[in-house]
Amino acid sequence: MKRTSITQDLPLNRKAKTAFAARAIILAASTVALAGCGILPSSNGSPSRGSSKPPVSSTQGNISNRTADRTCFAQLSASGVRFDPLPDAYGAPGCSKLGTVQLSALAGDRSRFGISNIGPVQCRTASAFNGWARFGVDRAAKQILGSGLERIETMGSYSCRNVAGTSRRSAHARAEAIDISGFLLKDGRRVSVQGDWSRGSAAEREFLRVVHKSACKRFGTVLGPDYNRAHEDHFHVEGTDGSFCR
C-alpha cells in the first residue's frame, strides 16, 4: 500500500485535534475500502487509474457517490472480487447504468474465478453473483462433478432492450441482469445450459439443477430452460428483489 505523507501544521487545541483525527480515520477507511478494487475515485469522481470501458450510452456521469453504492463497492472489494466502478450513464429512455461495476474476477474459497463476455452490472447484482459463484456453483461442482470452477461463461449483462414480445424494458436495460450460458471446470470440462440441461450426463444434469436452485436463493428472478424456449440456452439471473424462480 502506498505510504501517505502527513503534513505537519501549527499546533491544534484539543477540540480541533479530535475533529482532525476523526476526519483522518474516515478518509483512511474509505481509501482502504476502495483500494481493494484496484481503483480510487479522484476529486471529480473519475477513476484515478484508467481502464478501457466501452462507451455504451450517450450521457456519461461520475462514479456514484450514493451511500448505498459506495457501501456496496466497499463490501464487494472486501469479499475479494476484482472490479472497476463505472461512471453513471444514461442511454435511451428507460436504459441506464447506475452504481455499476465492471467485473474481472470473482472470489472463491481459495482462488478466483474468471468471467467471460460480461459488461456493466449493478453492484448489488454483482454481489449476489459472486456469492452464488462461490457458495453455489464452485462447491456444487466439487461435490457433484469432482472438479472446482474455473470460469463462468455469460451471454452478457447490460443491454438497452425490452422484454421479448413486450414494450416493457428488460432488467438488462438497467444492468440488473446477467445471462449465464455455461461453466468451465478446472479439469477442462465445460458444462453448458443448452447442451447439458437435458442431454448431459446424470451428474451434469444434477449439477445444473442444483446451481439453478441455488441461484433462486440469491437473486430476485431466475429463469432457465424450463421457463420457455427463449431461455433454453442460458440462466437469466436478475437483481435481488422479488422471488420468481422457474
Cβ–Cβ < 8 Å for 151, 218? no
* Average pLDDT over every residue of 135-146: 97
* Average pLDDT over every residue of 173-182: 98
pLDDT category, 60, cuts 50, 70, 90? low
Task: Summarize pLDDT for 75-123 with one digit per residue, the tens.
Answer: 999 999 999 999 999 989 999 999 999 999 999 998 999 999 999 999 9
Task: Summarize pLDDT for 18-35 with one digit per residue, the tens.
Answer: 443 444 333 334 433 333
- Which has more pLDDT, 100 or 242? 100
- Cell numbers for 128: 449476489
Provide, for the chain, the percentages of residues in helix, strand and coil under a 3-state DSSP scheme, each rounded to the nearest 5. 35, 25, 40
Residue 61 confidence (pLDDT): 79
- Rounded to the nearest 10 degrees, what angle do helices 67-78 and 123-131 cross at? 30
Cβ–Cβ < 8 Å for 120, 56? yes
Residue 240 confidence (pLDDT): 85
Q: Which of 45-49, 57-61, 96-100, 240-244 has the lowest mean pLDDT?
A: 45-49
Whether the predicted pLDDT of 56 surpasses 90: no
The CA dihedral of 34, 40, 46, 51, to the nearest 10 degrees, is: -100
| The model's pTM | 0.75
Cβ contacts of residue 170 below 8 Å, gap of 6+? 159, 161, 162, 163, 177
- Which has more pLDDT, 238 or 33? 238
